[in-house]
Structure 1
Amino acid sequence: MLNRTPRHEKIIQLIRESGFMPIDELARVLDVTPQTIRRDINQLCEENILRRYHGGASLGSSVENEDYFSRKNKLQSEKAHIADVIAAHIPDNASLFMSIGTTIEAVALALVKSHKNLSIITNNIHVASIVSSRSDYTVMITSGVVRAVDGGITGVATIDFINQFKVDYAVLGASSIEQDGSLLDFDYKEVSVMQAMMKNARIRYLAVDHSKFGRNALVRMGDITEFHALFTDEELSAALGKKLADHGVKWYLADKEDE
């Protein structure tokens, strides 16, 4: 797990502002050695936040996400902790939308261990497979086109299906959270589905691990203030924490003390 430092955040900020930064220039601005900058960049590249090129780095791709199995195998413990906290905020006998994403799949695993009589509507075939193991659950999988890359279902038929319902909770993820609270993703069709889920849920929960903060993505999904609560695994920046407080959005930090 990458423990994001203030220097990491400054590197991301500088590269975001310029598009590309040479290693020597980053070392000069931050008053550290080029070797230190190379180590920092390597760490940030591991989480797809940056891409390294000869002599420098740019932001990670804004148009293409990591492949499904790479995402599924990353930060598994952190996602499980986030999932446990979310599950504690959902009662038995509730109805839910659950979206595409490996963190949402972790939430599904947490729910089947502890919750009774849930009604779940999902466009994620992996979530559907997990929750359908419970005979007391009602599980509905949306219409639409299945993406071969990750088992996500999107399209106009998906949105039409979702718009037939009004549920208690929407549990959603995002590919990127910018420091101003903007939520971004890579696929406009997936974003349209999540926006329909947000519109048709009484309570909206956002589940993201720390690697999503400051990441680059192309499609605007909405703003973090459109959710009732944020669940994550690391402390927020002061600016983002203030924005949530100003808009009455709660946020919860996954407890890692038992590791």
Structure 2
Amino acid sequence: MNLSTRQQQILAMLAQTDGRLDSSELTEAFQVSVQTIRKDLNELSNRGLVQRVHGGITWPRQNRNLSFSNRQVINLEAKRAIAQAVAKRLPEGASIFLGIGTTPQQVAQALLDHPGLQVITNNLNAAITLCHNPRIETLVAGGRIRPADQDLMGEDTTRFLRRFQVNYGIFGIGGLSARGELMDFSPEESHLSRAIIDCADQSILVADSSKYLRNAPVRTGLLEEVNIFVTDRLPPEVHALLAHTETELVCTSMPTEEHTDEPT
């Protein structure tokens, strides 16, 4: 079942909040009946995209990630904007890691007109997309395929990535904790993200605002270890986390001249 335009807009609105959205706000925003909004929210809840709470919705609280197809539709325009911002930063001839997930997949899409790169990835969708740019050399890691996530995992995959030292390591996360911890949903995902951070001259975290304060059980590292953080929106609590780090912030909702590497 495809999401309706209104359901996609509801998810986008939820991403712009502190993680909760009231039904009354939605009925007012869309000028529809309570019954219509209730139907939308029930459908989103049945797909696992939101959690119903008294009077509204929140992001699901779970220790397993949403399905890949569901993640593809959450905050899609924000992910595309993040991807475009990353693609513009990559110089011709650079070598990069491209990690798993739907935002790195959007980065691959944004690279279709890039003048030339070497890409090492375990993201099958990204690899297939990059085949359409003959100026990009793509190396795909071996390992165990996760059919539901359309990527490769395991010790062989991590070992393959650790054979390289690249210019830029681009990766996503399962969630960002209130303490600035980078969280993932499995040890395998965490090991791969850690390899990308460790084996890149500059690590680039790509995470839309739906990841803020989202639960995930495995701790991968800290936001302060990341060289560049590209996101679509910066809540005050995340801004505070960056205040005492050297991490460069690129926030796509800000005008270009307001991008800063010294959050205040």
Task: Give the alignment's TM-score, normalised by structure 2.
Answer: 0.76
Deviations 1:62-120 (A, max 9, x none): 3211111111122221111111111121111100000001111111111122x222000
Contact 1:143 1:161 in 2 (8 A): yes
| Cross-structure match for 1:83 | 83
Aligned residue pairs total 227
- Distance between the aligned counterparts of 2:54 and 2:239, measured in 1? 36
Residue 59 (structure 1) shift: 7.2
Residue 48 (structure 1) shift: 6.3
Distance 1:220 1:50, change over 3 A: farther
Deviations 1:18-39 (A, max 9, x none): xxxxx9xxxxxxxxxxx9xx99
| Cross-structure match for 2:241 | 243
Contact 1:49 1:214 in 2 (8 A): no
Contact 2:16 2:209 in 1 (8 A): no
The correspondence of residues 112-127 of structure 1 with structure 2, limited to 5 A, is 112-113=112-113, 115-127=114-126
Distance 1:225 1:49, change over 3 A: farther
- Distance between the aligned counterparts of 1:58 and 1:140, measured in 2? 39
Q: What SS does the corresponding residue of 1:206 show, helix, strand or coil?
A: strand
- Distance between the aligned counterparts of 1:130 and 1:256, measured in 2? 29
Residue 200 (structure 1) shift: 0.4
Distance 1:52 1:255, change over 3 A: closer
| Cross-structure match for 1:213 | 212
- Distance between the aligned counterparts of 1:57 and 1:4, measured in 2? 11
The Cα RMSD (Å) is: 2.9
- Distance between the aligned counterparts of 1:255 and 1:4, measured in 2? 13
| Cross-structure match for 1:202 | 201
| Cross-structure match for 2:9 | none
- Distance between the aligned counterparts of 2:201 and 2:250, measured in 1? 19
- Distance between the aligned counterparts of 1:125 and 1:64, measured in 2? 21
| Cross-structure match for 2:26 | none
Unaligned ranges ≥5, structure 2: 1-11, 23-33, 256-264
- Distance between the aligned counterparts of 1:59 and 1:235, measured in 2? 17
Residue 58 (structure 1) shift: 8.6
Distance 1:59 1:90, change over 3 A: closer
| Cross-structure match for 2:251 | 253
Unaligned ranges ≥5, structure 1: 13-22, 24-34
Contact 1:62 1:218 in 2 (8 A): no
| 2:140 is the counterpart of 1:129 | no
Deviations 1:137-192 (A, max 9, x none): 11000011010102111100011111110000001001101121111111211111
2:192 maps to a residue whose letter is V
Task: Give the alignment's TM-score, normalised by structure 1.
Answer: 0.78
Distance 1:248 1:48, change over 3 A: farther
- Distance between the aligned counterparts of 1:52 and 1:109, measured in 2? 33
Larger deviation, residues 239-248 vs 162-171: 239-248
| 2:178 is the counterpart of 1:179 | yes
| Cross-structure match for 2:27 | none
Distance 1:219 1:134, change over 3 A: same
